[in-house]
């Protein structure tokens, strides 16, 4: 047993010390701060990131054990929090649009933790992600689309669930406005925010499942102001899984989930 532990320990050190290995084995690695939105746009335009089929496969592999644990009644905190946020709306069977659905695993999270209580539609800008989602969950509805220009009419859904994708949407203000337009409730799930209101939103490059992508760590003050401008009122907040990038940004961060209700116009 001690020999096995020693071998695993050495293996982890080798992976972390080797760029080629750590970028392909670890889910998130090699962070660096970008010089604002312009550099973030250039990186996103050139990298391919979430559009690549291999990124989809690696993400699926990373979540396989988490899904298996949930099926056994041991959901990870972020899965449990997502279900709690939907339950907090007190809607019996809401029409829900997941923006940034990836390979569709949250449709299974909701189906398991909220059995029969959600009418689910998934949307992602990555065709490769949507193809895998349709293959994995053929009974659910999945569409390719843009979070900043949703192809749905006003109030088409009861809930827009932005599932761990706001951090990758450069025009996040537009995504927030569109969510408020098409649904009464907006859930921003597992959003990385700085714990202090001092300082701006920061754009990072990281390798996610082997692909270079842009990630955003939000100024909570800015994020709440954008939601208010979109006509949203914060009703509940949950702490999600730990996520501190202080070693990269010099500022502590956490992940939070927010439930907003759309304010009724006078």
> What does the pLDDT look like over 140-157, one tens digit per residue?
999 999 999 999 999 999
The per-residue pLDDT for 28 is 59
pLDDT score of 19 more than 50: no
**Mean pLDDT of all residues in 190-212:** 91
Homologous superfamily (CATH) of 31-262 is: Vaccinia Virus protein VP39 (3.40.50.150)
pTM to 2 decimals?
A: 0.88
How confident is the model over 221-236, as pLDDT tens digits? 999 999 999 999 999 9
The per-residue pLDDT for 20 is 42
Question: For all residues of the chain together, what is the average pLDDT?
Answer: 89
The per-residue pLDDT for 230 is 97
Where do the domains of the chain lie? 31-262
pLDDT score of 7 more than 90: no
pLDDT score of 167 more than 70: yes
pLDDT score of 10 more than 60: no
Long-range pairs for 166-169 at CB < 8 Å and ≥24 separation?
A: 166/100, 166/191, 166/216, 166/218, 167/191, 167/192, 167/215, 167/216, 167/217, 167/218, 168/50, 168/100, 168/213, 168/214, 168/215, 168/216, 169/100, 169/216
**Mean pLDDT of all residues in 189-213:** 91
Q: Over pLDDT 90: what percentage of the chain?
A: 73
């Amino acid at each position: 047993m001690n020999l096995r532990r020693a071998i695993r320990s050495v293996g982890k050190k080798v992976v972390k010390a080797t760029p080629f290995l750590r970028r392909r084995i670890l889910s998130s690695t090699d962070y660096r701060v970008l010089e604002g939105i312009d550099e973030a746009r250039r990186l996103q335009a050139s990298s391919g990131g979430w559009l690549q089929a291999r990124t989809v496969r690696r993400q699926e592999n990373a979540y396989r054990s988490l899904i298996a644990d949930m099926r056994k009644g041991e959901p990870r905190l972020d899965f449990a929090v997502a279900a709690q946020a939907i339950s907090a709306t007190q809607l019996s069977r809401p029409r829900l649009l997941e923006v940034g659905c990836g390979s569709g695993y949250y449709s299974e999270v909701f189906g398991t933790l909220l059995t029969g209580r959600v009418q689910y539609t998934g949307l992602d800008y990555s065709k490769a992600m949507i193809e895998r989602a349709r293959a994995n969950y053929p009974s659910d509805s999945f569409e390719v689309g843009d979070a900043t220009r949703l192809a749905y009419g006003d109030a088409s859904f009861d809930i827009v669930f932005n599932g761990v994708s706001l951090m990758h949407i450069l025009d996040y203000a537009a995504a927030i406005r569109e969510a408020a337009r098409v649904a009464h409730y907006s859930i921003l799930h597992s959003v990385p925010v700085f714990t202090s209101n001092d300082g701006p939103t920061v754009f990072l490059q990281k390798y996610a499942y082997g692909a270079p992508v842009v990630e955003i760590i939000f100024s909570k003050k800015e994020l709440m102001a954008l939601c208010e401008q979109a006509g949203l009122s914060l009703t509940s907040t949950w702490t999600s899984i730990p996520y501190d990038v202080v070693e990269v940004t010099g500022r502590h961060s956490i992940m939070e989930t927010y439930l907003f209700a759309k304010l009724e116009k006078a």
